[in-house]
Structure 1
Amino acid sequence: MSKRLLVQAPAVPRATIEKLAFFTIGDNRQVSSPHLTMTTEEMWRRRAEDLAPGHAHGVGTIRDAIDVIEALPAEIVLDEVFFLGHGSGDDFGFFFFSGHPDPGHNFAASDDNQLLEMSRAEMTSSATFSETKELLIKLFKRLARADPRVGGVKINLLACFMGQGETHWAVCDFLDGWLVGAREVRFEVGAYENFYETVFVTAPGGNIVGWEDHIVEQPGGTELVPNPGMNQIPAFEVSCAGVMVGTP
């Protein structure tokens, strides 16, 4: 009498909903509270870890950021992404992955591959391809991949002046109509036209107990957006929203 051996297929890992953050590296200037001093880069890192636990990354170039996205485990679904740190309203408005302090411009990069920047014409043109476009395509493929637990996704550009340029609109243009599965998913992309700053709040022993974000005319200046309270992100000065349309 023969016996039939039943082999059970390996279980498919259940998708986990996570957040992803990139923060600016290269700013060694010090920032202080009454009980703690650290570099600006360290401040960005800690804030990013608070926003996206386990998935906060400081990278030097766009290619490094692409590598981070490609290395994410297959079961991870992203519902929120943060670009946190230094930004600019020059050209199309860009985010610094890395750079260095600069007396003339506050912060500067040595090469375009250190920047996240894209015009609306470039983003929607099939004839144009760049590392920024490659990064965004790979990122979009990880957003809300037909997971019914995710009702919407959000791209947060937490950097100075990016709302003055086209990059956030280019991201919106490309997300609009993006195929993500058999359903529709809402999205929002937000940015600031003015100065974005984050401040760490510490206990007497030096431990960080929270964060306060401010949108101001200049560092320490007049607040332009109502303070939402501890550990909250201020309302965006510029935002766009739409629907990523699923396949039939």
Structure 2
Amino acid sequence: MKKIYYSLLLTLCVGVSGFSYALQDAKNIMESVKYRDQGVDRYSDVDLIQTMSDGFVRSRSLKMYEKEFGEERKGLLYFTEPSNTAGTGLLMYSYAEVDNKEDDQWLYLPALRKVKRIATNSKEGPFLGTDFSFADIERMRIADYVYTLKEEKENISIIEAKTENGLENPRTGYSQRIVHVDTDKNIIIKDEIFRQGRLIKVFEVVQLEKVNGFWTVVEAKMDNLVEGGSTRLIRKNTQYNQKLKDGLFNQRTLRKGLD
């Protein structure tokens, strides 16, 4: 009887230990994605090509700048085309998670000549009418979810990310995600996004290239399963370690522009 008891106890301990390892391993994978080496700074020309559910297509072009400041990151998006969005800018500050501080976004609309801070509970809204939300283009926050490693195949890890209480995250509006990670490159190649148990959007990488020694997403798309349609993101002319000035990333640049 004692042998049976010890055997059951050992099995239980191994099972719990293995489960804890899987949870921790999943979180470690997501941290490797967030903190992967992308140089000190980077620049890209970006096209956003949106196809509506009725087949209508509209395009926007922008310049994207990002720079690392220790565990923090600052980003600037500045629209150049078409004329009715040219001059629109978005400034993003991503803070160290240890500070438990919500990331900041400021939007500048030239028609209003005013900088507006995007409230935390407004980031689930569409980014300038596209199928990406303001939260989608923000740097991920590991603390938003609890992670479980569901499957591994070759260099792909499939991870379930769920809010701790099962409700929608107030910043993203999402309650669950199924994330496919290329663990060789530490890049999310697919992200199935849920709200209240319903699959609402799917993000997928279409093309990856190595640029200046860094793996770079040169094309991705977001499919909107609720309203139909999709938005393609195409990154061109990407350059790393350009010694971007710190002063580029402030509200003054939003108002004055890049010239």
Q: Does the pair score TM above 0.5?
A: no
TM-score by length of 2: 0.27
Q: Which structure carries more strand by proportion?
A: 2
